[in-house]
Amino acid sequence: MQATLSLQGNALLLAAAVAVILLIYLIAKCKLNPFISLMAVSLGLGIVVGMPMRSIVKAFEVGAGGTLGHIALLIALGTMLGKMMAESGGTERIAHTLIAAFGERRASWAMMAVAFIVGLPVFFDVGFVLLMPIVFHIARSAGASVLLIGLSMAAGLSVVHGLVPPHPAALLAVTAYHADIGKTILYALLVGLPTAIIAGPLFARWVSRYVIIDTDNPLEKQFVEMDEARQLPSFGTALFTLLLPVLLMLIGTWANLLTTPGTRANDILEFLGNSVVALLLAVLMSFYTFGKRRGFSRETILTFTNDCLAPTATVILVVGAGGGFGRILLDSGVSHAIVAATQASHISPLLLGWLIAAMLRIATGSATVAMGTACGIVAPIAAAAGNAVHPELMVLATGAGSLVLSHVNDGGFWIVKQYFNMTVLQTLKTWTVMETLISVIGFLLTWGLSAIIV
C-alpha cells in the first residue's frame, strides 16, 4: 500500500502532525464531540495522504474494533467490580485503612505504591478502572483533589506498564532483546521507583494547584454515594476481591514456570490468567463478597450492574475512535516514515530505542505497539553493538520511549479524561505531561545506569 500513497517522507509526517493539531483544535476549541472529531479527522487524513478510498473506512473500523474488542470488556467488567465495591463499602474500607496506615498527608504516596503492585500483571486500563473507585473514596476521605490522588495512581501503573516485568508489555521487550529477566526487574525497580515518585506524587501535588477539575463528576458519584450507617466489609475481604484478578493474571503470566507448556494444566492457568476471564471471575466473586454477604438481593445486584454501565458508554465510544485514528496513522505509513528518519542517523542503541519507541507511540497511541515494534527494529542493531550495551537497559530505554506524550490517539488519554472529568486541555496539561515526565526521567536514569554498570 505504501506505493499508492500520494505523500511520502517528511510530507507524510507533516500531514500527521497537522491532523493531530486539528483534532485538538476541534475538540478543545470548537467543542465538537470527541467521537465525531476523531472519526472526521481520521477519515480526512486517510484521504489527504492518498490511502485507497475503499481502505480508509476499513482501516478505521479495524482499529476501532480491535481496540474495543479488548478495552470495552475490561471497562464494563472493571466498572461493575468497582460499583459492587462502592455499594458494599469495600472501597471505603480500603480507603480508610490506607489513610490510617500512611496518613492523610501521604495518601497520594499510598495510591502510587498500591498501583505499582497492582499494575504488575495487568495492562494500564485494567488497573486504572480497578483502582479509580478507591481514588474517589480516598480523595473524599482525605479532603484531597481527585487529580492529586488519581495522577499518583496513574503514574505507578504507567511506570510498571512500560518498565517492569512481568508486565506483558515489558516482557515483549525482554524477549526481543534476549535480556535476563531477573536483572531487568532489578534495574527496572532502580529506575522505576524514583521515576514514579517524581512523576506521581511530586508532580501531581504541584499541578493540582493550578489545574482545577470540575467536581460534578457523574462517575465519581456512582462510586462514592453511600449510607454512612452501614457495616463495612473487612479489609481482608475487600482487598482479596480487588486483588483476585491481579493474582489470577499473575498466575497466567507465570503459567510456563508453574506447569509444563502444552499441558492441560498449563492451558487452564493461561485461561484463568486472561484479563477478561480474571475480571469476570472477580465480578462473580464480588456478587457474593460485596453482594450476598452484605445483604443485597439478586434484584439489587442486577440494578447495580445495569446502572453503572451507562456512564461508560462515552468512554468506550471515544476510546474505540481513538483506536481507529491510531490505525489510520499506522496504515498511512507514518510509522515507516519515522523509522526511515531515525535509522539514517548513527546514534547510541539506547537513544535509538527510546526515539523509535517514542515516535511510534506518538504516531499510533499504543505503548504496547510502540514497544513491540521498536524492539523488532532496534534489537538487531543492539545485538550488533555486542557488549557495548546491556540488553536489560535496552528494555528500559525502549519501554520509557513507549510512554512519551500520550495524546488524543491514545485510548488511555480518553479513559483518564473521562474518569477525571477533565477537558482535553486539562488532560494535556496533566496526564500528557506526566507521561512525558515518566518517559524522559526513565530514560535519563537508564542512561545514567549504563555508565555505572560494567
Q: What DSSP letter does each residue of 160-202 carry, written as one string?
A: HHHH-TTSHHHHHHHHHHT--HHHHHHHHHHHHHHHHHIIIII
CA distance 213 to 144: 12
* pLDDT(2) > 50: no
pLDDT at res. 393: 92
132 or 9: which carries more pLDDT confidence?
132
CA distance 151 to 115: 11
pLDDT at res. 448: 92
Other CB atoms closer than 10 Å to residue 339's CB: what's the count?
17
What does the pLDDT average to over 361-386? 72
What does the pLDDT average to over 429-443? 94
- Rounded to 5 degrees, φ, ψ at 402 are -70, -5
Confidence of residue 432 (pLDDT cuts 50, 70, 90): very high
What does the pLDDT average to over 211-239? 69
* pLDDT(224) > 60: no
Confidence of residue 334 (pLDDT cuts 50, 70, 90): low
222 or 306: which carries more pLDDT confidence?
306
CA distance 277 to 381: 38
pLDDT at res. 272: 87
Buried b / exposed e over 231-246, threshold 16 CB at 10 Å, is ebbeeebbbebbbbbb
Confidence of residue 3 (pLDDT cuts 50, 70, 90): very low
- Rounded to 5 degrees, φ, ψ at 115 are -65, -35
Task: Provide the percentage of residues in the chain whose pLDDT is more than 70.
Answer: 82
Q: Measure CA 27 to chain center.
A: 22
* pLDDT(252) > 90: no
* pLDDT(1) > 90: no
CA nearest neighbour of 188 among 167, 202, 208: 167
CA distance 219 to 102: 26
Task: Provide the percentage of residues in the chain whose pLDDT is more than 90.
Answer: 14
* pLDDT(199) > 80: yes
Other CB atoms closer than 10 Å to residue 191's CB: what's the count?
27
User: Please, where are the H alpha helices in 274-332?
Assistant: 275-286, 298-307, 312-331
pTM of the model: 0.68
* pLDDT(171) > 60: yes
What does the pLDDT average to over 171-182? 77
pLDDT at res. 196: 93
* pLDDT(226) > 60: no
What does the pLDDT average to over 378-395? 77
Confidence of residue 154 (pLDDT cuts 50, 70, 90): very high
pLDDT at res. 454: 65
Cβ contact 56:43 at 8 Å: yes
What does the pLDDT average to over 157-181? 78
Name the average pLDDT for the chain: 80
